[in-house]
């Protein structure tokens, strides 16, 4: 393969990635504009790694109330969760959640918060809508299935399973919108993308795959 074909292939991959990212952001903006409140999902193992300032800015510009869901909280020690809650609660409402431990899942806290917002801020609104937003593989679909009590959306460790927004009825007159995972930085290091779960192994070349494990 000559240099021009390598350059062409690299350019086409970047172009394809840009188009896919643009399509995802269109879906995310639709969720933002259609929702009454936003659940911003973070992975408790790496909250800062899946924090997106651009998304925060878009939520604020849309004048939507943002609630941070610190998901997969059963995968880190409780004292770590307490530290993150202390940090994020300075400027945000935050709930720690996991889908495996029924007694301390955080499910009840989320339901109470939903009912509180519906009664206090949207008492005359017939249909109350919650938008679910976050990076790939932070557990957005698993959260929805857990809240619903059954599988209503596809949850997968493979990135990009949710391609368009999905509308799900949670209770009477209360709905959830699932959104595709945001791709934060198209040109970030592939090693970082792999570790944080928003790049699949099938999306990198064999050479890069070898280099990753040689680090």
Q: String of b and e for 105-118 (b: at least 16 CB within 10 Å)?
A: bbbeebeebbeebb
Task: Give tens-digit pLDDT for 182-214.
Answer: 655 544 555 555 555 555 555 555 545 455 445
Phi, psi values for residue 137, rounded to 5°: 65, 25
Task: Give tens-digit pLDDT for 41-54.
Answer: 999 998 988 888 88
Longest C-alpha distance within the chain, in Å? 65
Q: Contact, 99 vs 73, CB < 8 A?
A: no
Task: Tell which residue, 163, 185, 139, 154, has the closest CA to residue 39.
Answer: 139
Q: Which DSSP symbol is given to 193?
A: H
Q: What is the pLDDT of residue 30?
A: 84
Output the CA angle 196-201-202, nearest 5 degrees.
140
pLDDT at 13 > cutoff 50: no
Q: What is the pLDDT of residue 181?
A: 67
């Amino acid at each position: 393969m000559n240099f021009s074909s390598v350059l062409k292939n690299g350019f086409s991959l970047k172009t394809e990635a840009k188009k896919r990212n643009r399509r995802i952001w269109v879906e995310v903006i639709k969720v933002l504009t259609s929702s009454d409140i936003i659940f911003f999902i973070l992975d408790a193992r790496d909250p800062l790694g899946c924090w997106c300032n651009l998304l925060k800015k878009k939520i604020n510009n849309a004048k939507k109330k943002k609630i941070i869901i610190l998901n997969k909280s059963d995968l880190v020690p409780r004292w770590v969760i307490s530290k993150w809650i202390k940090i994020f609660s300075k400027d945000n409402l935050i709930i720690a959640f996991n889908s495996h431990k029924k007694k301390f899942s955080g499910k009840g806290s989320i339901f109470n918060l939903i009912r509180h917002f519906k009664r206090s801020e949207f008492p005359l609104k017939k249909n109350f809508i919650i938008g679910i937003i976050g990076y790939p593989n932070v557990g957005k679909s698993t959260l929805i299935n857990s809240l619903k009590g059954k599988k209503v959306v596809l949850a997968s460790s493979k990135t990009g399973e949710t391609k368009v927004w999905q509308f799900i009825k949670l209770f009477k007159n209360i709905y959830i919108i699932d959104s595709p995972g945001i791709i934060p930085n198209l040109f970030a290091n592939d090693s970082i993308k792999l570790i944080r779960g928003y790049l699949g192994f099938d999306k990198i070349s064999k050479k890069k795959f070898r280099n990753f494990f040689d680090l």
